Chains A and B, each alone.
Chain A
C-alpha cells in the first residue's frame, strides 16, 4: 500500500473534529487528552498548541513519543500518527500563526480567556496509519485550485502596469477563487505600516487606510512574514477600529480619516504576505462571512498568487522609468470657471483637504501639493513619474518607495471625492492632472 503523507491528510488537521493525543509517563501510565490545535508545519512536522502545564506536557518532556488521532471532517477520514516531540517555539512565525488561529478556535468554542498559547510544540511525524471505519463521500471541491492558480498566473503575467496588476489580481481572486472580499496593502517605505492600495467587495474601497505592522491579522502576517489564517469570528485579531486604537495609543502616527474596509460579520480571515527577493512588499488579505472558509489548500493557492504578485510589483518598481513617450497633448481642457475649490495643505503632515473634505496625507499628499502648485503657477497638467521621483517636494521616503502605488492611491482618492480634480494616466510613466474646477491653494496651519 502506498504510504500516506502528511500533505494528503491536511484537512484532518483543521480540527473541526478535535484531535486527540496519547502520551505515556515514564512509569508506563498512558494519558489521553483533547487538542485545541494541530498545525501543519511541513511534510514531516506538525505543531501542537501548548496551553497548559498538564500531563501531556509533562509526559512528552520525559518520553517524547506520542500518538495522535485526527479526523478529516469532510469525509471522516481517520488517521493515527506516531509523532516525536522535538522542541517548543515561543515566538516567531509558527507561534504567531498558531496564536492567531487559536484565538479563533477559543472564540468559537467559548474558551476566550481560557485558551492562551504558551508555545508551539513541534513534533516529527514518524508514521501515519489510516484507521478504517464508516466514511462519507467527500464533498465536491468548490474549485480546482491548481487550475485557478494557473489561470491567475497567466492573467497576472500578461499585465504591464501596477494598476492593471492590482485590478487583475483582485479580479482573479473573485473569479478564480470565488472569494468576494479582498484587500491589497503595500508596505510603507518606512516599514512600520501598510496602506490599502486596492480592494474589492466592499461598499467603500478604504484605499489610503493604514494598518500598523504587528497589529491584527494583516499586521502580524506582515511582521512575521507568514500567512495568518483564522477560521472563526473572533475579536483579538480584528483588523478594524480596535487595532488602530491600540496603535494610536502607542503613539504611532496613522491615517485615521479613511476607514479600513472590512466585513462586519467576518468569520474567516486569511492574510498572506506579499514578498519578493526577500523583501516584504505588502499583504494580500481575504475574508468571508462563513466559518472555516479558507483551508490549507486555499492558503497555498493564495501564497502562490501573492508570490507572483510580489515579483511583478518588484520588477515594475525596480525597472528603469520607461522612455517617455511623446504624447499628443490632451484635448485642450477649457479653462475652469466658477467658484474656486480650496485645496488646503497642512504642511505639518502634508494632509490635503478639498473644500472641507479630507483627501489624503503623507507622501500622496505632498505629491498632490506639488502637482497643484505647478498647475497654478504655470498651467501645467502633464507630468512624468521620473521627474516626480526626483522632485524633493514629493518627499518620497527613499528611491525604492513605490511611487506608482502612491499615484494609484491618490488617483483613487480623487475619484472617490469627485471634487473637480483628478489624475489620469496619459502614457507610459506619465500622467495628467485633469482639472474641471478652478483651484485655489491654501497653505493652512502655517
Chain B
C-alpha cells in the first residue's frame, strides 16, 4: 500500500474546507518555531500539501524551512475539535499559484463562519485570519506521517489505524 497517499479524499476535503492552520519548523539547534497559517491546498494526487502563511508573521520560520525542510502542519476545525497533524521532511517555500488567493478566501470565510457559530463575534476571527495576500508564502511538502490529534484517548494515533 506504499503507493496510496496518506491523505484520503475525505481528509483532503476536510483540510481544504476551512480549518485553522498552524505550521511548525525547527532551527539549527532544534529550537522550534511556530506560525498560524491562513489556509492550505492539497494537490490533486493528494501527495503534496501546501500551507499558506504571511511572511511578516513568520520570524525565522521560512528560513528554517528552506534550510532543513522539516515541517509539522496542523489543521483543526474549532467547532468539532477534529485535528490532524501532518509531518514532512521536504518542505520548501515558494510563491502561491493563481487560484490560491480565491481558495484561501473561501477557506477563511468558512472558518470565520465556524467560529461565529461557536459564539465568537465575527470581527474577532476576521482579524485573526486576515492579512495582506501580497505577502502570502506557499510552503509545500510531502506528508510522510499523519496523526489524529483530536483531544481524547485516540490523540496522537497514526492516521489510518481504524478508530
Stretch of A21-29, A180-188, A200-208, A432-440 lying at the B interface: A21-29
A134:B34 contact, CB within 8 angstroms: no
A30:B24 contact, CB within 8 angstroms: yes
Min C-beta distance of A375 to chain B, whole Å: 59
How far is B78's CA from A73's CA once the two chains are assembled, in angstroms?
Answer: 15
Which 4 pairs, one residue from A and one from B, show the smallest C-beta to C-beta distance?
A: A22-B24, A22-B34, A22-B32, A134-B130
Offer 30 A-B interface pairs, CB within 8 angstroms, sorted by A: A20-B74, A22-B22, A22-B33, A22-B72, A29-B87, A29-B89, A30-B25, A31-B72, A32-B23, A32-B24, A32-B34, A32-B74, A33-B85, A33-B149, A34-B76, A34-B83, A34-B151, A52-B156, A55-B147, A67-B31, A78-B36, A78-B57, A111-B81, A114-B151, A131-B59, A132-B56, A133-B54, A133-B128, A134-B128, A136-B123
The residues in B between 34 and 86 inclusive whose CB is less than 8 angstroms from any CB of A are 34-36, 54, 56-57, 59, 68, 70-74, 76, 81, 83, 85
Instruction: Give the interface of B toward A (CB within 8 A).
Output: 22-26, 30-36, 54, 56-57, 59, 68, 70-74, 76, 81, 83, 85, 87, 89, 123-124, 126-128, 130-131, 147, 149, 151-153, 155-156
B127:A135 contact, CB within 8 angstroms: yes
Q: Collect the chain A residues with CB atoms within 8 Å of residue B131's CB.
A: 133-134
Min C-beta distance of B137 to chain A, whole Å: 14
How far is B115's CA from A76's CA once the two chains are assembled, in angstroms?
Answer: 15
Answer whether residue A285 sits at the interface, using C-beta atoms and an 8 A cutoff.
no
How far is B151's CA from A110's CA once the two chains are assembled, in angstroms?
Answer: 11
How far is B131's CA from A20's CA once the two chains are assembled, in angstroms?
Answer: 20
Q: Collect the chain A residues with CB atoms within 8 Å of residue B76's CB.
A: 34
B22:A32 contact, CB within 8 angstroms: yes
Return the contact of A80 from the options B54, B56, B59, B74 (Cβ within 8 A): B59
Q: Collect the chain B residues with CB atoms within 8 Å of residue A68's CB.
A: 34
Tell me the number of A-to-B contacts counted with CB atoms below 8 Å: 123
B70:A28 contact, CB within 8 angstroms: yes
How far is B155's CA from A111's CA once the two chains are assembled, in angstroms?
Answer: 13
The residues in A between 5 and 29 inclusive whose CB is less than 8 angstroms from any CB of B are 17, 20-24, 26, 28-29
Instruction: Give the interface of A toward B (CB within 8 A).
Output: 17, 20-24, 26, 28-34, 36, 52, 54-55, 63, 65-69, 71, 73, 76, 78, 80, 82, 109-111, 114-115, 129, 131-136
Q: Collect the chain A residues with CB atoms within 8 Å of residue B22's CB.
A: 20, 22, 32, 69
Min C-beta distance of A119 to chain B, whole Å: 17
Return the contact of A129 from the options B59, B124, B149 (Cβ within 8 A): B59
How far is B73's CA from A22's CA once the two chains are assembled, in angstroms?
Answer: 10
B130:A133 contact, CB within 8 angstroms: yes
Q: Collect the chain B residues with CB atoms within 8 Å of residue A20's CB.
A: 22, 34, 36, 74
Give the residue name and chain of the B residue nearest to A21 (CB): B34
B124:A65 contact, CB within 8 angstroms: no
Extra 5 A-B pairs, beta carbons < 8 Å, given A20-B22, A36-B151: A28-B30, A30-B32, A30-B33, A67-B31, A76-B124
A29:B130 contact, CB within 8 angstroms: no
Min C-beta distance of B139 to chain A, whole Å: 12
Give the residue name and chain of the A residue nearest to B128 (CB): A76
Min C-beta distance of A317 to chain B, whole Å: 46
Q: Collect the chain B residues with CB atoms within 8 Å of residue A28's CB.
A: 26, 30, 68, 70
Q: Collect the chain B residues with CB atoms within 8 Å of residue A54's CB.
A: 155-156
A24:B130 contact, CB within 8 angstroms: no
Q: Collect the chain A residues with CB atoms within 8 Å of residue B31's CB.
A: 24, 65, 67, 82
Q: Collect the chain A residues with CB atoms within 8 Å of residue B124's CB.
A: 17, 73, 76, 136
Q: Collect the chain B residues with CB atoms within 8 Å of residue A82's CB.
A: 31
Min C-beta distance of A270 to chain B, whole Å: 22
Give the residue name and chain of the A residue nearest to B76 (CB): A34
A131:B85 contact, CB within 8 angstroms: no
How far is B74's CA from A82's CA once the two chains are assembled, in angstroms?
Answer: 19
Give the residue name and chain of the A residue nearest to B153 (CB): A114
Q: Collect the chain B residues with CB atoms within 8 Å of residue A63's CB.
A: 30
How far is B151's CA from A34's CA once the two chains are assembled, in angstroms?
Answer: 9
Q: Collect the chain B residues with CB atoms within 8 Å of residue A29's CB.
A: 26, 70, 72, 87, 89
B128:A17 contact, CB within 8 angstroms: yes
B83:A55 contact, CB within 8 angstroms: no
Min C-beta distance of A77 to chain B, whole Å: 10
How far is B81's CA from A110's CA once the two chains are assembled, in angstroms?
Answer: 10
Give the residue name and chain of the B residue nearest to A126 (CB): B31
A31:B57 contact, CB within 8 angstroms: no
How far is B78's CA from A111's CA once the two chains are assembled, in angstroms?
Answer: 13
Give the residue name and chain of the B residue nearest to A63 (CB): B30
Q: Contacts A17-B128, A30-B26, A32-B73 given; indicate if A132 touches B32 (C-beta within 8 A).
A: no
